[in-house]
Amino acid sequence: MVLIENLALQGEKVLIFTGYPAAKEMFFTETKNIAKDTVIIENTTDIEKYKGKQVIIINNDDEKLCLTAIKKLKDIDDRIIFIKNIDICHTPLIKECLNHKKIILSWELDACKAKEIIRKKKFASVLLFSQPKIKIPYTFVPLEPYTGYIRSKNTEGYVRSVPE
């Protein structure tokens, strides 16, 4: 969540889907400065009503509502689509997200129902915190806590996040 919080605080427009209330609470706690431009949508009517908000969060784990929002938001290609906990998502939502350029898929790839589809996608950059069991085109040494492996066109290496 820290990455998407920081991107939102820098002014990026985002659409957030997570199945866990604690993740939403953490987002609100860390982004108080943009609270007036953040909304949780609960139904399809809210999509049109709040389409101008910088941060749109899908209520609960309503995948159908998330799919509808992705299809109806005219500015979706300007937004980062952040899917936390891909392990709870079904394939149609993941497939739709993969049609867009600005996406962040988070959580355990091996537990995701659409892992084969994700594995075949060529991403501009990838940040992993553990080596998935599913075959991917690169391997790296086992990581310490809060350490990730990043790979993009011009960058490859390790990053470390310091917990507060």
pLDDT confidence bin for 161, thresholds 50/70/90:
confident
Buried b (16+ CB within 10 A) or exposed e, 54-65: bbbbbeeebbeb
What's the mean pLDDT in 4-10? 96
The rounded mean pLDDT for the chain is 94
Q: What is the pLDDT of residue 164?
A: 64
Q: Does residue 10 sit in the same domain as residue 65?
A: yes
Q: What is the pLDDT of residue 12?
A: 98
pLDDT digits (tens, 9 = 90+) for 13-48: 999 999 889 999 999 999 999 999 999 999 999 999
Instruction: Give the total number of structural domains in the chain.
Output: 2
Q: Does residue 153 sit in the same domain as residue 139?
A: yes
Reduced to 3 states, what is the DSSP secondary structure of residue 69?
helix
pLDDT digits (tens, 9 = 90+) for 104-139: 999 999 999 999 999 999 999 999 989 999 999 888
Residue 59 belongs to a domain with what CATH number?
3.40.50
- Rounded to two decimals, what is the model's pTM? 0.93
Q: What is the pLDDT of residue 139?
A: 87
Q: Would you say residue 6 has pLDDT above 70?
A: yes
For residue 60 the two structure tokens come to 């609960």
Q: What is the pLDDT of residue 146?
A: 86
Q: How many Cα neighbours within 13 Å face the side chain of 1?
A: 19
Q: Tell me which residue range forms the domain holding 164.
A: 123-164
Q: Does residue 56 sit in the same domain as residue 80?
A: yes
What's the mean pLDDT in 63-70? 98
Q: Would you say residue 163 has pLDDT above 90?
A: no
Q: Does residue 128 sit in the same domain as residue 148?
A: yes
Q: Does residue 100 sit in the same domain as residue 139?
A: no
- Side chain identity at residue 131, one-letter code: Q
